[in-house]
Amino acid sequence: MVSQAVVNAFAVVGALLSLPLLLRFLGFIWLYFLRPTMIHRYVHGGYPYAVITGATDGIGRAVASELYTRGFNLILHGRNEKKMQKVVQELLHLRDPSAQGVVRYFIADATKPGHDFEKMLEPFKDLNITLVIHNVGGSNGVQPEKLDERPEEYIHNLVRWNALFPLLLTRVLLPQLRRSAKHGPVLVQFVGSLASDISPPRLPIYAASKRFLEALVRGLDNDEQNFGPPTGVRFTYLAVGPVHTASMPQKPGLNTPTSEQFARAIVQRTGCGRRRVAPYAMHAVSTFVVGGLGERTVDYYTAQEMKTLIDVYAKGE
């Protein structure tokens, strides 16, 4: 006979153990279904600007449209000036002429060394920048080569593209961001990848470059918030799963939003106060499931999936 006291004790322990899970679930419902967007809070001061890198296609371009229609002026970055001018023209048509904002841009190949970031941002140095979306980056698809089959230059390019370009851009922008933060909230968001959580085979450099951003976000946020008087400049790492874009051939579906759907999700989650957030609800669910499965299982299935993906990319080229 188990006494009632023991049963009660187990019930209490069970309830306590499930409490974190319950809180997490409630946090999920709040973040993705109930919380109103805070994006308007970043439209403050005289002529607020958002900076978006890699803004001529995919996620970056969709985020640019979303922010422009919500009243931001834009400073866009791309590598192809012709394509950029087309994007700027299309954006300007999104708002009626009486409410038209300003869309400016700069051009730089993020994989290349030797940029003069100060000079690059000189034309924008008096502007009130309140939001930065470091979106540029990528993995060049998924290829079969291992690390020792890559030239050194390839590795430098990949790390510059995903990690150093956003880092060095942030370095030059910081004083200006602190200035804007005197009038209202300022946020710097880095587009990361769920690949960095699981480091799939054949993508270790890409995964590591995105992990770099996650560590950077926490460190920079600590720098600005917890060492001396808070400056008000905040940082967020965006945990991004599959999104259907030019560089991602997977078809749109429940777990794979279009760039437009994903851009709306970024805007919805902006300013939620988390240092790491998956803008898209299904990507948060994936992270949760992956966390519960254990590393061995995840690694096994990821390796199978990578074989399929390598074939998909090989056929697409």
Ligand X SMILES: *[C@@H]1O[C@H](CO)[C@@H](O)[C@H](O)[C@H]1NC(C)=O
Ligand Y SMILES: NC(=O)c1ccc[n+]([C@@H]2O[C@H](COP(=O)([O-])OP(=O)(O)OC[C@H]3O[C@@H](n4cnc5c(N)ncnc54)[C@H](OP(=O)(O)O)[C@@H]3O)[C@@H](O)[C@H]2O)c1
- Binding interface with ligand X (CB under 6 A): 45-47, 126-128, 183
Specify the residue, 48 or 78, whose C-beta has the smaller distance to ligand Y.
78
Specify the residue, 51 or 238, whose C-beta has the smaller distance to ligand X.
51
φ/ψ of 77, rounded to 5, equals -125, 140
The window from 56-64, 141-149, 180-188, 272-280 that contacts ligand Y (CB under 6 A) reads 56-64
- Site for ligand Y contains 76 (CB under 6 A): no
What is the Cα–Cα distance from 63 to 47, expressed in whole angstroms?
18
Q: Who's near 42: CB < 8 A, 6+ residues apart?
A: 48, 50, 72, 130, 131, 184, 185, 186, 187, 270, 271
Specify the residue, 35 or 70, whose C-beta has the smaller distance to ligand X.
70
Q: How far is the CB of 168 from ligand Y (least distance, A)?
A: 13
Token output for 233 = 């400049």
Specify the residue, 68 or 231, whose C-beta has the smaller distance to ligand Y.
68
Of 50, 181, 186, 248, the residue at the interface with ligand Y (CB under 6 A) is 248
- Site for ligand Y contains 196 (CB under 6 A): no
How many residues in the chain? 317
What is the Cα–Cα distance from 232 to 187, expressed in whole angstroms?
9
Of 49, 56, 121, 211, the residue at the interface with ligand Y (CB under 6 A) is 56
Token output for 138 = 């990528």
The window from 222-230, 238-246, 267-275, 301-309 that contacts ligand Y (CB under 6 A) reads 238-246
* Binder of residue 245, out of ligand X, ligand Y, none (CB less than 5 to 8 A by kind): ligand Y
The CA distances from residue 83 to 49, 56, 77, 178, 214, in Å, are: 21, 7, 11, 32, 30
Token output for 243 = 């999104």
What is the Cα–Cα distance from 123 to 104, expressed in whole angstroms?
10
- Site for ligand Y contains 247 (CB under 6 A): yes
* Binder of residue 56, out of ligand Y, ligand X, none (CB less than 5 to 8 A by kind): ligand Y
If residue 115 lies in a helix (H) or strand (E), which one and from where to where?
Answer: none
What is the Cα–Cα distance from 65 to 67, expressed in whole angstroms?
6
* Binder of residue 126, out of ligand Y, ligand X, none (CB less than 5 to 8 A by kind): ligand X
Q: How far is the CB of 176 from ligand Y (least distance, A)?
A: 21
- Site for ligand Y contains 254 (CB under 6 A): no
Token output for 238 = 């965006």
Of 246, 251, 294, 317, the residue at the interface with ligand Y (CB under 6 A) is 246
Of 37, 70, 100, 109, the residue at the interface with ligand Y (CB under 6 A) is 109
Q: Which residue has the tokens 């905040």?
A: 234
* Binder of residue 45, out of ligand Y, ligand X, none (CB less than 5 to 8 A by kind): ligand X
